[in-house]
Every structure is written in C-alpha cells, then in structure tokens.
Structure 1
Amino acid sequence: MDRLDAMRLFTRIVELGSFTAAADDLNLPRATVTHAIKRLESTLGAQLLQRTTRRVRTSRDGEVYYNHCLRLLADMDAVEADFREATVQPRGRLRVDLPAQMARLWLIPTLPAFFARYPLLELDIGTGDRFVDLLREGVDCVLRVGELPDSGLVSRRVGTLEQVTVASATYVRKQGMPQTLADLQGGHHAVNWASPTTHRSESLEFMVGRKRREVILPGHVTVSGVEAYMGCCEAGLGIAQFPRYRVADGLANGRLREILPTMPPPSLPVTVLYPPHRQMPARLRVFVDWLVELMAKQL
C-alpha cells in the first residue's frame, strides 16, 4: 500500500471510528488495515490512533496528521479530476440515504436510465428519515424533504414538492366535503402527524393567497411514520397532507378526495446534504445533477 492509499485509509478510520468499519468500507482485509496503520505510524515516528474497546480516536499527533491528510488528498483529487473528468466516465460506489417513499415511487424507477448514462457507478441506497451522520457512517449524501436545521453540511436545493390535503372517499361520504377553513374546523378530524424527532403533533397548513394559515383539528390517532399516516388516512380516520406524487394514484382512482384545492399546503423544499469538499467528487456531482433533472421533469 503506497503512502497516498495509507493516508486515505487513515482518514476513513478516523471518520468511521473503527478499523473494521474502514476495512469494510474500502473492501480490505482487517489484517491489511492494521498492518498499514502500524507501518504508517512507524514511518512518521508517532502514534496516530488511540484504540479503546468501543472506539478508535486520534491522538494529538493523529489529529494534526488527519487535517494535513484532508488538505493533501483534496488537492490530489482536484488535480486528478482536472485531467480525468473531461474524458473519463465517473466511477465508483456512492452511498446515499433517501426518504423511503421517494426512493420507491420516484428515484428507483429511473435508475436504469441513470446507469445507462453512468455505467461505471454503483449506488448503495439506504432509506429512512432518521438522522444520518454522514462522516461517521460513510454516507456521501442524503436527500431530505422540508425545512432543515443548520448542520454544517453543504446543502443544495434540488426542487420543491407540491403538497395536497386529502381524505378518503369513505370519510368524505360520512363527514361531508369542507368548502372553507371554517367548515374544516366545524366537526372534522385529522390524522395527526407527530415529528419523529420532537414528538410534537404538527398542525395542518394552508396557503390562503400568500398567507400561511395553520389549523389544528382533533384526531383519534397520532402517528410518526409515513406508512401509518397514509394507512390511517385511507382507513377514513381523518384528513391528512401529503406530497402530491405520494397520493396521485389514490386521487386518480377515487380512493382519496382532495380537500380545499384552492388553499393547498405550502410546497416542501427538497434538499441534498453532503460533506464539504474542496473538489466535489465527480460521482457525487453527477448524482446530484441527476436529482435536479428528475425534480424538474417529474415532481
């Protein structure tokens, strides 16, 4: 293993906090990883990593060396990219995390076209809305919907999602179709959504002209999972709000009915988050550009 490879290996161990995780991430034998770090420490004459039973941490010298490695590797990647990207297809594995429903209904059906354009790329796709520590988990980027707190990551808005207020056809037959917000507050129920992070129930939101109006309705059930939210709405337990793409089939076949179409919920921003790079890897850049292209075409 040459010096540059050893530096890349060292940075992955620091970022993932584990020899084993770095070995798995780089597809290397555990013994090779251990030997390479021992050789690197011997060459430098310094202990770089402190090993405990639960985690690997940098020593003081290791922290200094890690920062030098980041700068040197970024410069090397930038130089190689300048010469390579004009003529060579992006290659390698990209680890991404996506909301489950967006992945299944929107992104995954387009992947044959993506791989036809970029045949040397591989995608490792995780799905969920949980917090992902990109550096510690070795994830290249995450796609998230809604307003996001400041995370120190680079964010790129790739589009917005139109939202819609819906109820099941069964619910509308029993409760009637509200025509105004006053009607809505006069005896209707909601499937209440609780944030998975704060666990607080969130109100329904409507755009009346350019003004955002919040409406809190009573409900028999509160959920914090997307599938449960949809299931409760389809079961006639109350009114709910979704991105339009998520309920398009239900609206088309009459299983769901749109509520107050002239006062839709505010659109949701869709954002890609990724760690800061002095030179964004080509494989990440083309994937983010692909997401922007899809948003413009489909959502």
Structure 2
Amino acid sequence: MKIEDLKLFTTVVELGSFTAAANALDLPRANVSRRINDLEKSLGIQLFFRTTRSLSLTKSGELYYKELLNALSALDKANHIASNLSEVAHGQVKIGLLPETSDIMQSTLFKFQDMYPKIELDIRTISNGFVDMYRQGLDLAMHGGTLSDANVVARKVMTLQRVFVASPEFLEKEGTPSSLREITNYPFVCFRWPSGDIDKQWDIKDHII
C-alpha cells in the first residue's frame, strides 16, 4: 500500500470521479481505476459503488475516507517537523550585555558559537536592559537587580557578588570599622541601577545594613 495511492483515493472522492482525478493529476484514467482496484484488494473492502454514470462511496469507503484524512494530515505534519529539524539553525541574534557581565558571559557565548556556527551573534554593551531591549531591538538583554516589569520573560543566569573596599589612606583617615553596623557611619560611593534606583540596602550573609 503506497501513500501515493491513498492520496489518489482522497482525490477521487473530492473530485467525484476517476476521470476528473485523472485529468487533475495528468494520469491515464485506466491507471487511476487500476490503482483504486488494487487498494480495495489490499484493504479487502469495496470503497466505491460504480455505475456507468456515477461513483459514490460505500459505507466502508466513507469511514475509511474520514480516518484517512486525519492520518494523511498527521503524516504531513510529521514530515514537516522532521524537515525543520534537519535544517541547520541560522540567522542573527542581538544580545545586550551589561559591562559587568560581558567577561563572565564570554565562555558561554563561545560555546554557543561552537554549537551553532551559522548563527551570527550581534553583541552590544548596554546600560539599561528594559529600555535598550526595545530601543535597539534586542532579542536578549542582561539585567541586574529586581524586575520592575512583570511582562518581561526573565531567567536567572548568574549571581553577582560585590565586596566592600577602602583605600589605606581612607582607613587611616576614617578609622577601621570593628563591626558591620559601624559601616553605616562611613561615607560610601553607592551603585545606581540602570532603573535609576540607588543600591542603598545590602544583604551581607545574615545581616542587612
């Protein structure tokens, strides 16, 4: 049983005669008739009532036709999926990286290029993931801190750690703190997030200052 014969059967049903199907497919009418006869023999059922003037489906033919349409549709879908899977991924992906993440992401980006050599990575340095995502038409953008837009689809990819630093001259002038609480009495150069918010609350292990 060939797929081409099954599709031929559905064409005969849709066009209403062997002659119409033969004309549509540019086949000899005798070829169409023979292949339908072979299909009936293979199935062991009669698909059509034939007269000199008309052609109509038997009850078995009607049931077979309905199920066959579903089967052929599923087959076409499977073939389409298989065809797409065999294609090599290609195109361009625009990625926005924050300055503090560019070095960290290098090894990941290199691995991606090794896996998908046909994909061109357009990597840009950004300052605000939310704004630059739309302004520069980015496909992906790095963001640091909490999410302020609930409509953004985001996934945590890394944890950035920061440390307190001070120069020897500063400590000589201001003194060395003896506890975390004393740090709040010192002047600080604070980080400002791309959203404009100042990072003025720090989680230090089990302490918040």
| Greater Rg by CA | 2
Higher relative contact order (CA 8 A, sep 6+): 1
TM-score by length of 1: 0.37
Which one has the bigger strand percentage?
1
Could you state the TM-score of these two structures normalised by the residue count of structure 2?
A: 0.50
